[in-house]
Structure 1
Amino acid sequence: MYQDLSNLKKFYMLFTLVLFAILIVRTGQLQLYQWDKYFRESEKNRIRDIILEPLRGLIFDRDGEVLVDNRPNYSVSVVPYEFLKADSAIILLSEILNLDPDDLKKKINKNKRGNFSPVKINRQIDFRVLSAIEERRLDLPGVFYNTESKRYYPGGVKASHLFGYLGEITSGELKKFKDTNYRIGDSIGKTGIELQDEEYLRGTPGVKYIEVDVLGREVRNLTGLGGVSPNPGRNLFLTIHTEIQKYLEEVMADRKGAAVVLDPRNGEVLALMSKPDYDPEIFSNPLTPETWNLLVNHENKPLYNRASQSLFPPGSTYKLVLGAAGLETGDITLEENILCTGAHRLGNRLFHCWKKTGHGEVNFLAAVEQSCNVYFWEKSRDIGLKKWSEFSRNFQFGKLTKIDLPNESPGLVPTKEYFDRKYGEKKWTRGLVLNLVVGQGDLLTTPLQMAQFAMILANEGVLCRPHLVKKIQDPLTGEVVFTKVDSIQIQGTSKKTYRTIKQGMNLVVNGVKGTAKSARIRGVTVCGKTGTAQNPHGNSHAWFIGFAPMDKPEIALCIMVENGGSGGAVAAPIAGGVLSIYFNDQKFAKIP
């Protein structure tokens, strides 16, 4: 019996010694090998890291005038561990921010990334909220406010589809940028230049460390912990000509449509306008669900960029493509005249020219000058759909221009294969081709593509990629990086063909029977082409494309007025206004 008790005693002693040994080893491990980890964890109760938002880069026009600037703004954040422990603090902050307490807690729990990482719960707070938080600071543990910035537009230029807007980053965007320094609550570019050049505009956040007491109240700055100052975003200098942009926004204020103005020598975008638009200041203030729903669901789609996203039939402006194909193949010569009686017969169907009494006998130049449909319908029989489609693709239709804006549309150039897929082999007629050669039917382009086409014609085959950013500047060092100008030579069209087309475009504006006399300006030879594209859903779309001067062109443009009516009566005068501003500004106009 005594032996059993002795053995049991030894067992308990051994067991106790083992437990102590384990405790000693574990204590040593924590103290010697993992002390820094747990020290940092314990320091989180005392030290808070405050993210310092960088100033977003500014946006300037080509002459250095500020178009998009920053204004100071305040946001409210909370540290979940400190704030959620006090129900009274939750109720008080909810009252100050005019939020439901349960909604506030849900927002914090949804967005938090750890108990000690600040969660931004409200931005762009007004002075009343800021004062209330400051006054009740002792009753709001874990609550603090930060200085941020918001966009404003001092240059008097809306250009909402060009600039774009900022919005709070989404969970999907966070996953996309998971290896960067974005956090829930940060602002990010959503459309336009703000999105396209987000990597340059954003800058790099900094950090500072502060000591807090047991209630989460700030005690002092901890400058010795090596905080990092934020680096501002880079400044963008755009190619935009402010006076032309303002003019287009004003003259198109009550219309729908788009305009694109290019410098054909380098592809710089002098103006890019889409109407209807919206006031970009809307997104610089708290956006209510009602305002957002109104923008998204409005029948005129003000958020949609008609210049580079919307697709339209280009009307008679597209006759120049068939003209180029025919001149190259020899199916069109200047010596051949075709009689326009006002209609073209295809089987039992008559296709009417816009001038019902007819144009009489016209050659190619006269057909371009007067925009005679019958001439191009007749020549389409010789040239054919395959060659027309080939030249359309050569002129970059059906392709992205690769402008530095997001969400561009490539357009549509129908081919035989396209019609076979849509209607079935041998189940479609040549009437579809007649529609295409005068810019109607299934053919779809963007105003940006049509401006690019005008540039190609102006340059006699040289295409410079349209671009909006002229240079990028580091605001700290002053270092500047200029945009590289990309250019290509359009294949398949000779200089002789281009010069013949330019003669016709000269007559459109300056000829006795031209359809775009209202685009004339004194002292400068303007070349152009009008278009009136029929629209099954309303009035015709008014088009004008052109360039000037005829020799050594400096400006190429496209004006499109949705449901505007006649291209010569509506779009051409707007083009004339653009050209007058440009050449007067350049001191180019020569008054006789």
Structure 2
Amino acid sequence: MNGFDSYRIRERADVARLVLVAAFVLLAGTFFRTQIIQHEKFQLRAETNRLRPIALTPPRGTILDRNGSIIAENVPGYSVKVLAPSVDSLLAVIGRIGRFVPVDTAEVEDIVRRFRQARYQPAVIFGDASFETVARLEEHRAVLPGLLIQSEPKRLYPAGKAVAHLVGYVAEVTENDLTAKRFPGADLGTIVGKAGLELEYDDTLRGLPGVRYMEVNARGRLVREDAGGAALQPTPGRPILTTIDLDLQRFIDSIWPPGFRGAMVAMTPGGQIRALYSSPSYDPNVFVGGISRANWRGLNEDVARPLLNRAIQTRYPPASPFKLAIGAMALKRGLIGLDTHMPTPCRGGLRLGNRVFRCWKKEGHGSLDLIGAVAKSCDVYFYQVGLRLGLKAILEDGVLMGFREPSGIDLGNEKDPIWPASTAYFDKLYGPRHWSPPATTLNFSIGQGEITQTLINMMKFYEGLASEGQVSTPYIVRPASSKIVDLGLTQAQLAGLRHSLIAVVEQGTAAASRRKDLAVAGKTGTAQNSHGKDHGWFIGFAPADKPELIVGAIMEFAEHGSGVAPYVVRTLRRQLLGPDTVGTIKIKPLLDETVVTRDTAPRPVELNPDSAAARAREDSIRRSAAAVGPDDAVPPPPEPR
């Protein structure tokens, strides 16, 4: 080997030594940075891999009535969960659990689905486990890897079905809820309000979750519970105080005729809701801990629709209670006075062109003033008031009085009423020549046709009659709006309308409910229903001279408002005179009518748009609408409606 080769070997050796030294320095620097400089960071990461955070459910805020009675509270409960590394492991543990306590196989699919959505959280097997179930599983914990039994606050509704539509219910937030951002701050597994007050005030009631840590091994299997030091305790939700009188709410539930669909609302002048009841109802406690598929299917497939809040979500033709609105519109515009008699006395119907619009009383009412027409609920009188107003004025004034907007009550999912903004609605719906403005006017004048209202919206109008003409926003906790609607009536006109409502109970269509010890003002109504028996209305307030409470009810298939009035009067007496007074009112038993109601208004004028006779009839009605006189009264129709 010559000198040149030796030199090259030494040179390569030097380079190799430099590379080794550089590598050693690099490794040493990395080690120093990892162990010294970034020690806390990597230690936290290691701890995170070893410790699994588990959310702790906060107690929801208590819901109280105006006297401090409990509407919704929390009680101790147990949940059974499994912390598993995979779906296969989860199914294996569920199979073992099934050896000791019953597991609904239909629910397993839902358990797996929720587990896949939140892989690092325990899968909930029983959301509301009994003490017996917990004790049985504790005995066999050794063969149930990943088993967690947590003590959690559970919702309880002591009044059960009596408050279901008022308070609502709670359930786990869904993936769709999170995608739609319906519940800010919620994660999968969070319990949220799904209806009623629980939904409307969820932000207040929910509270903040806590956390506890579980130690898991490299495969994700549970090693030790409550690891990693002290847990973060959940922050309880805040309570809410409502305007509800729970005793009154229970009373309404107790007197409601079994099997009948409908709703009743009690409110004060000023808008405070004292009771809000819907029938048929359900027990909100079945949702606590997660409702079973069978129970959910039963509630959803029931033709009576027990989940529907008929006080705020079902629209009905407002029928005769709406006659007061027609009277108020005409009084405000100066078209009639309280003592005005119409040119055509009631003899059972009114002829308009070649069509007869009948009164409910086949022999007729004769000549009446406004107060008498309200007391006797005379259709013929209000047909003529409606014609004086005209359809355009009725639609305009109805908007001003609030019939086109929902009530604004602080309960979620209130349905908008149906109230056309203008005649363009009918042109679009039927075609410009395929509907009759005069005929539509007559239907609107007695609360029928293409106008439908919820009970709560009609209650608003009657609150205005009882509150010096001022209509406020109804509320249960706090008003959503401070808006006040003025009906635009003088105090004398309001007093006259109230007097007419007193006459309804004293000598009119609700006379059977009259009692000497409490002066009640109110209005009956019969909402036409093309799918079965008619629906019955009654809205009243008392004491009539200085109202303290307004109560309204709608009963589906009750046929007449006179059958509904005793329930309202009993409620008024119970609240204003005391529980001992209600037994003196006799109530005619109502029979259940198993007919499925449809939330649509019947078409008021039957027309075949391709018929020449139909077009001629429309032209005849239009020409004669402005010229109704005494000769237009017709003989009594053969049958009352």
TM interval, shorter chain, is 0.7 to 0.9
In the alignment, which residue of structure 2 is the partner of 1:583? 576
Q: 1:587 to 1:248 in 2, by over 3 A?
A: closer
CA distance in 1, matches of 2:408, 2:63: 21
Confirm or deny that 1:465 pairs with 2:461: no
CA distance in 2, matches of 1:90, 1:335: 78
Q: Deviations over 1:549-575 (max 9, x none)?
A: 22221011211111110112x111111
Instruction: Extract unaligned runs of 5+ from structure 2.
Output: 585-641
In the alignment, which residue of structure 1 is the partner of 2:482? 486
In the alignment, which residue of structure 2 is the partner of 1:25? 29
CA distance in 2, matches of 1:431, 1:544: 26
Q: Say whether the 8 Å CA contact 2:573–2:581 is kept in structure 1.
A: no
SS in structure 1 opposite 2:162? coil
The aligned runs of 1:386-535 (5 Å cut-off) are: 386-414=392-420, 415-429=422-436, 430-469=438-477, 486=482, 488-511=484-507, 514-535=508-529
* Deviation, structure 1 residue 258: 0.9
* Deviation, structure 1 residue 457: 0.6
- Which of residues 315, 334, 340 is equivalent to 2:319? 315
- Which of residues 536, 556, 576 is equivalent to 1:562? 556
In the alignment, which residue of structure 2 is the partner of 1:353? 359
- Which of residues 224, 230, 242 is equivalent to 1:218? 224
CA distance in 1, matches of 2:509, 2:170: 43
In the alignment, which residue of structure 2 is the partner of 1:473? none
* Deviation, structure 1 residue 42: 1.9
SS in structure 1 opposite 2:68? coil
Confirm or deny that 1:340 pairs with 2:341: no
CA distance in 1, matches of 2:383, 2:114: 67
In the alignment, which residue of structure 1 is the partner of 2:384? 378
Tell me the amino acid that sits aligned with residue 264 of structure 2: A
- Which of residues 297, 304, 314 is equivalent to 2:301? 297
CA distance in 1, matches of 2:91, 2:427: 69
Q: Which sits farther off after the overlay, 9-18 or 93-102?
A: 93-102
CA distance in 2, matches of 1:578, 1:106: 49
In the alignment, which residue of structure 2 is the partner of 1:475? none
SS in structure 1 opposite 2:152? strand
CA distance in 1, matches of 2:373, 2:186: 59
CA distance in 1, matches of 2:100, 2:346: 77
In the alignment, which residue of structure 1 is the partner of 2:617? none
* Deviation, structure 1 residue 96: 5.1
Q: Deviations over 1:510-537 (max 9, x none)?
A: 13xx111134333332111111111111
CA distance in 1, matches of 2:315, 2:149: 46
Instruction: Extract unaligned runs of 5+ from structure 1.
Output: 471-482
Tell me the amino acid that sits aligned with residue 423 of structure 2: K
Give me the TM-score of the superposition, normalised by structure 1: 0.88
Q: Say whether the 8 Å CA contact 2:111–2:123 is kept in structure 1.
A: no
* Deviation, structure 1 residue 157: 5.9
CA distance in 2, matches of 1:331, 1:262: 32
Task: State the percentage of identical aligned residues.
Answer: 34
Q: 1:539 to 1:460 in 2, by over 3 A?
A: same
Q: Which sits farther off after the overlay, 131-140 or 318-327?
A: 131-140
Q: Say whether the 8 Å CA contact 2:526–2:559 is kept in structure 1.
A: yes
CA distance in 2, matches of 1:407, 1:368: 34
Q: 1:335 to 1:269 in 2, by over 3 A?
A: closer
* Deviation, structure 1 residue 28: 2.9
CA distance in 2, matches of 1:87, 1:431: 67
Q: Deviations over 1:247-283 (max 9, x none)?
A: 322232321111111111x311111111111122222
Q: Say whether the 8 Å CA contact 1:111–1:119 is kept in structure 2.
A: no
Give me the TM-score of the superposition, normalised by structure 2: 0.81
**Count of matched residue positions in the alignment of Structure 1 and Structure 2:** 570
* Deviation, structure 1 residue 352: 0.7
Tell me the amino acid that sits aligned with residue 463 of structure 2: M
The aligned runs of 1:146-295 (5 Å cut-off) are: 146-155=150-159, 158-176=162-180, 181-209=185-213, 216-218=222-224, 223=229, 225=230, 227-252=231-256, 253-264=258-269, 266-284=270-288, 286-295=290-299
* Deviation, structure 1 residue 147: 1.0
* Deviation, structure 1 residue 155: 3.9
CA distance in 1, matches of 2:413, 2:29: 62
CA distance in 1, matches of 2:450, 2:226: 69
CA distance in 1, matches of 2:298, 2:181: 30
Confirm or deny that 1:553 pairs with 2:547: yes
Name the Cα RMSD after superposition. Answer: 3.1
CA distance in 2, matches of 1:416, 1:241: 43
Q: 1:129 to 1:42 in 2, by over 3 A?
A: farther
SS in structure 1 opposite 2:273? strand
Tell me the amino acid that sits aligned with residue 166 of structure 2: L
Confirm or deny that 1:536 pairs with 2:530: yes
* Deviation, structure 1 residue 392: 1.4
CA distance in 2, matches of 1:105, 1:256: 36
In the alignment, which residue of structure 2 is the partner of 1:573? 566
CA distance in 2, matches of 1:102, 1:59: 33
Tell me the amino acid that sits aligned with residue 189 of structure 1: G
Q: 1:519 to 1:28 in 2, by over 3 A?
A: farther
CA distance in 2, matches of 1:270, 1:197: 18
Tell me the amino acid that sits aligned with residue 366 of structure 2: G
* Deviation, structure 1 residue 466: 1.0
Q: 1:8 to 1:213 in 2, by over 3 A?
A: closer
Q: Which sits farther off after the overlay, 343-352 or 457-466?
A: 457-466
SS in structure 1 opposite 2:153? strand
In the alignment, which residue of structure 1 is the partner of 2:138? 134
Q: Deviations over 1:492-521 (max 9, x none)?
A: 33323222211211111113xx11113433
